[in-house]
Chain A
Amino acid sequence: MTEPSASSVAAPRAGGRGWFSGIVQVLPVVLGYLPVGFAFGVLAQKAGIAVANTVLLSVLVYAGSAQLIAVGLIAAGVPPLSIVATTFIVNLRHLLMSAALTPFLRRWRKSELAAFAFELTDETFAVHSTRFVAAEAGVEPPHSESFAINLTAQASWVFATLMGVIAGQLVTDVEPWALDYALPAMFIGLLVLQLRTWIHALIALVTGLLAIGLLQAGLQQWHVIVATLIGATAGVGVEQWISRRSR
């Protein structure tokens, strides 16, 4: 059987194959989400948040670090408006991720973008940016594949949350299981996959050190977004400088 190549260039292929390959591509993220979502469920249960509200956080907010921060703030009795404001700042980085994907989403309908954006996380962003860049020269990945990645990831996150809530009554401490290291380990994998050239490695190092410096300078919550803006600008600067020198 041969692919109808003309039609696959004009319109993304739909159907079962896209869904299947999407699920395969997102499996590593699922493996990271299970322990982290589980840990979130345990902590939310311990903080006295009702099951319905814990699941609601994973369904409606669906942002790991913001959810974990919110659990701490709710437990500490911080006023709701402060919690919402903190969430906004912590999640503002998605603005940059959303913008970074736009060059690849030109042919998408508004309704598709609305559904796609809802499930944009650090991890799904890393998966999408890698596959969109890889496919840039060739065929656009099918939309069904993109949605399969997002839906599978969030389904695993919600499922793990629920398991964590249920286990919350039994588990006293999540540390011995190293569940708390699932998220950092996941980011290590995501970051290394992004290191395509030495400029990328340099920018990763500079941005990371800058984020540490800003955090130490007292820029809590803002350090990620400020360091990212400066780091990406430095990346373009180095790129331009090199291309000008080689001319």
Chain B
Amino acid sequence: MDQQTIALTIVGMAAVTYLPRLLPMLLLTSRSLPPLVIAWLRYIPVAVLAALLLPTLVVRDGVIDLSLRNLYLWAAVPAVLVALKTRSFFATVVTGMAIVALARYVFGL
């Protein structure tokens, strides 16, 4: 693919990414939503983050991998503990990355 086609593809990607970000804000902020809808929207953050994260940890190369070789899954355990204990985002990221780097170095995973 030549660079000009890539540039045009990027403009298309930008448009279809921006509209879902923008439209609910523009259309919904001016009206008051029913309490049930607001209650539902409150569960969106936790649901969407879990839906993004868990498959990343468990599904490796298209198959569910619960074996000890799945570093993504087992490195998550200390990262979750650090997150619960410290409530610190930074400590969580550093812990997760350090454990993955260390395990690869030591065990050659």
A29-B89, A192-B84 known; A208-B10 Cβ under 8 A: no
Question: Which of A50, A60, A74 is the most central at the interface, judged by chain B CB atoms within 10 Å of its CB?
Answer: A60
Task: Compute how far the CA of A192 lies from the CA of B38 in the bound complex, rounded to whole angstroms.
Answer: 22
A-B contact pairs, 9 of them (CB 8 A): A91-B17, A98-B21, A177-B101, A184-B56, A194-B49, A208-B55, A211-B50, A215-B59, A228-B47
Interface residues of A, count at CB 8 A: 100
Q: Which of A1-9, A12-20, A114-122, A140-148 contacts B (4 or more CB under 8 A)?
A: A114-122
B47 nearest in chain A by CB position? A231
A192-B92, A195-B46, A232-B40 known; A98-B80 Cβ under 8 A: no
Task: Please name all residues of chain B whose beta carbon is closer than 8 Å to the beta carbon of A102 when the two chains form the complex.
Answer: 24-25, 28-29, 33, 41
Task: Compute how far the CA of A174 lies from the CA of B49 in the bound complex, rounded to whole angstroms.
Answer: 25
A102 nearest in chain B by CB position? B28
Q: Are A117 and B21 in contact (CB under 8 A)?
A: yes
B33 nearest in chain A by CB position? A103
Task: Compute how far the CA of A25 lies from the CA of B101 in the bound complex, rounded to whole angstroms.
Answer: 27
| Option from A35, A92, A117 in Cβ contact (under 8 Å) with B22 | A117
Residues on A facing B (Cβ under 8 Å): 27-29, 31-32, 35, 49-50, 52-53, 56-57, 60-63, 65-66, 70, 74, 77, 80-81, 83-85, 87-88, 91-103, 105-106, 108, 110, 113-114, 116-118, 120, 122, 125-126, 129, 175-195, 200, 203-205, 207-212, 215-216, 223-225, 227-228, 231-233, 235-236, 239-240
In the complex, chain B residues 21-48 whose Cβ is within 8 Å of any chain A Cβ: 21-26, 28-29, 33, 36, 38-48
Question: Which of B24, B28, B93, B104 is the most central at the interface, judged by chain A CB atoms within 10 Å of its CB?
Answer: B93
Q: Are B46 and A191 in contact (CB under 8 A)?
A: yes
B51 located at the interface, meaning its Cβ lies under 8 Å from any Cβ of chain A in the complex: yes
Instruction: Determine chain A's interface SS by DSSP, over half rule.
Output: helix
Task: Compute how far the CA of A61 lies from the CA of B17 in the bound complex, rounded to whole angstroms.
Answer: 6
Interface residues of B, count at CB 8 A: 71
A97-B48, A187-B49, A203-B47 known; A50-B55 Cβ under 8 A: no
A93 nearest in chain B by CB position? B48
Q: Are A53 and B7 in contact (CB under 8 A)?
A: yes
Q: Are B96 and A185 in contact (CB under 8 A)?
A: yes
Q: Are A53 and B3 in contact (CB under 8 A)?
A: yes
Task: Please name all residues of chain B whose beta carbon is closer than 8 Å to the beta carbon of A53 when the two chains form the complex.
Answer: 3, 6-7, 10
Q: Are B21 and A94 in contact (CB under 8 A)?
A: yes
Q: Are B24 and A178 in contact (CB under 8 A)?
A: no
A99-B28, A178-B97 known; A215-B8 Cβ under 8 A: no
Task: Please name all residues of chain B whose beta carbon is closer than 8 Å to the beta carbon of A118 when the two chains form the complex.
Answer: 18, 21-22
B69 to chain A, nearest CB (A): 14
A113 nearest in chain B by CB position? B25
Q: Are A188 and B28 in contact (CB under 8 A)?
A: no
